[in-house]
């Protein structure tokens, strides 16, 4: 259970991995895409990324494309379950952001 799901919310690593797999991608591509999406803020470590991929596979949220081609360039893609999890998470995040905006939105923060 390298990335926990018991809090309901997805971890940042899991959320970004799911997002990066709406198109088939391999380990290196996933890492690059996440770094790009987050403007260099999120760089996933080897253990974290490998753990997230394995956990997501066992939860059937993603699936390997070329099962028999072995490790190096193994490609993954998101499944319907995975997409549903992402939609739910976006809804949750939107609620968080909207409520935050309602309270402090008018203020000039930062």
Q: What is the nearest approach in angstroms of another protein to the Cβ of residue 39?
A: 15
Q: Kind and range of the H or E element at 63?
A: strand 62-64
Counting every residue written for the chain, the total comes to: 110
Closest approach of another protein to the CB of residue 26, in Å: 8
C-beta of 43 vs 105, nearer to another protein: 43
User: Where do contacts with another protein occur on this chain (CB under 8 A)?
Assistant: 1-4, 11-13, 26-28, 31, 42-52, 70-74
Residue 93 CB, nearest approach to another protein (Å): 17
Nearer to another protein, 71 or 106 (CB): 71
Six-digit token string for 17: 């991995």
Distances in whole angstroms, Cα of residue 74 to Cα of each of 30, 68, 70, 105: 11, 9, 6, 44
From CA 56, how far away is CA 71, in angstroms rounded?
A: 16
Least distance CB 31 / another protein (angstroms): 6
| Number of other residues whose CB lies within 10 A of the CB of residue 10 | 22
Closer residue to another protein, CB minimum distance, 43 or 60: 43
Q: Which residue lies nearer to another protein by CB, 53 or 78?
A: 53
The helix or strand, by DSSP H or E, that contains position 28, with its residue range, turns out to be helix 27-37
């Amino acid at each position: 259970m390298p990335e926990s799901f018991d809090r309901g919310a997805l971890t940042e690593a899991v959320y970004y991995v799911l997002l990066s797999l709406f198109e088939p991608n391999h380990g290196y591509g996933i890492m690059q895409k996440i770094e790009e999406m987050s403007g260099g803020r999120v760089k996933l470590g080897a253990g974290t990324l490998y753990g997230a991929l394995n956990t997501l596979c066992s939860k059937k949220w993603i699936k390997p494309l070329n099962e028999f081609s072995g490790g190096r360039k193994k490609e993954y893609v998101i499944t319907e379950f995975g997409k549903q999890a992402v939609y739910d998470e976006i809804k949750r995040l939107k609620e968080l952001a909207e409520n935050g905006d309602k309270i402090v939105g008018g203020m000039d923060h930062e």
